[in-house]
Amino acid sequence: MTEPVRLSKRMSELGLCSRREADEWIEKGWVRVDGVVVAVLGSKVLPHQRVTVERQAAAEQSKRVTILINKPMGFVSGQAEDGYKPAVVLVNAESRWSEDQVDTEFHPKQLRSLVPAGRLDIDSVGLLVLTQDGRVAKHLIGEDSSVEKEYLVRVKYSKPGTLPEHELKRLNHGLIMDGKPLRHAKVFWMNEDQLSFTLREGKKRQIRRMCDMVGLKVIGLKRVRIGNVKLGDLPTGQWRYLRPDEEF
């Protein structure tokens, strides 16, 4: 017999919402299992049972915003740490990009539950996603996520000459980190001191550690794309909304 699982976990697996959203909806009586309202947190369901949500849940979810920031150096992605400010402090009416094509009006309430969907180190710059939508967060940073993330990385080789071809091949495939082989990457030279990295995973300081393994020192790192969404001309320190026609 298949084991029952928490309703909130099952809703996340089905792609309906995040677990946090699921708990909120359950408490509000917006979730039905086989047509019956389930309003008790911690309730469990069997995989074959039908889970549906009320229209109010979908309406609330549609109001949740996803914001793209061109993060400058010196800001952390998430919670403030060691005296450094989180990137969310950059989101206000004044710092919104003047060429944002979305007609949504900014309101401070949009800052509630706005969390980073993936990290970008304090000394890295470029595209950072902040979202209120649990589906977006799960898609970008969930355990099964394979969304591509592209970076431009300025490097300096620590040995005489240039990086050997076999070491470049190791960057593409063959490195082991934290005891596990890294997924295939796409790494190639843009010019004599800048590499393009495209990854499908996001271990902490992964690119810097990969470079260190082959004798490269990272001088600068900029994320320019997540899935199909590009940083483009978004100015440093400014933000815009994810457009309805954009998908990661």
What does the pLDDT read at residue 139? Answer: 85
Q: Residue 25: pLDDT band by 50, 70, 90 thresholds?
A: very high
Quickly state the pLDDT bin for 80 (edges 50, 70, 90).
confident
Instruction: Decide if domain 66-144+229-241 falls under CATH 3.30.9.10.
Output: no
| Band of residue 172 on the pLDDT scale cut at 50, 70, 90 | very high
Residues 6+ apart with CB under 8 A from 122: 73, 74, 75, 76, 84
Q: Which are the contacts of 35, defined by CB distance < 8 A and separation ≥ 6?
A: 50, 52
Chain centroid, CA 4 distance in Å:
30
Identify residue 7 by its one-letter amino acid code: L
pLDDT at 112: 83
Of 23, 103, 121, 144, which residue is the catalytic one? 121
Q: What is the reported pLDDT for 30?
A: 94
- Domain ranges in the chain with CATH number 3.30.2350.10: 149-226
Confidence category of residue 226, pLDDT binned at 50, 70, 90: very high
Residue ranges, comma separated, of all CATH 3.30.70.580 domains in the chain are 66-144+229-241
What pLDDT does residue 1 have? Answer: 54
Which residues have CB under 8 Å from 7's CB, separation 6+? 22, 26, 31, 33, 38, 43, 44, 45, 51
Q: Does position 199 have pLDDT exceeding 80, yes or no? A: yes
Task: Give the residue range(s) of CATH 3.10.290.10 domains in the chain.
Answer: 5-62
List strands edge to edge, sheet with 36-37: 36-37, 31-33, 51-53
pLDDT of residue 194: 97
Is the pLDDT confidence value at 36 over 80?
yes
SS3 assignment, position 103: coil
pLDDT above 90 for 141: no
Fold of the CATH domain 5-62? 3.10.290
For 149-226, CATH gives 3.30.2350.10
What's the mean pLDDT when you consider all of the chain?
92
Q: Which residues contact 66 (CB under 8 A, 6 or more apart)?
A: 117, 129, 130, 131, 132, 133, 136, 241, 242
Contact 88, 130 (CB under 8 A): yes
Mean predicted confidence (pLDDT) in 103-122? 88
72 closest CA partner among 84, 59, 58, 60 = 84
Residue percentage of the chain with pLDDT more than 90: 73
Task: Summarize the confidence of residues 122-135 as an average pLDDT.
Answer: 92
Does the structure show a pLDDT above 80 at 144?
Answer: no
Mean pLDDT, rounded, for 36-45:
94
Query: Does the annotation count 121 as an active-site position?
Result: yes
153 in Cβ contact with 171 (< 8 Å): no
Q: What is the mean pLDDT of residues 189-205?
A: 93
Q: Specify the pLDDT at position 31.
A: 95
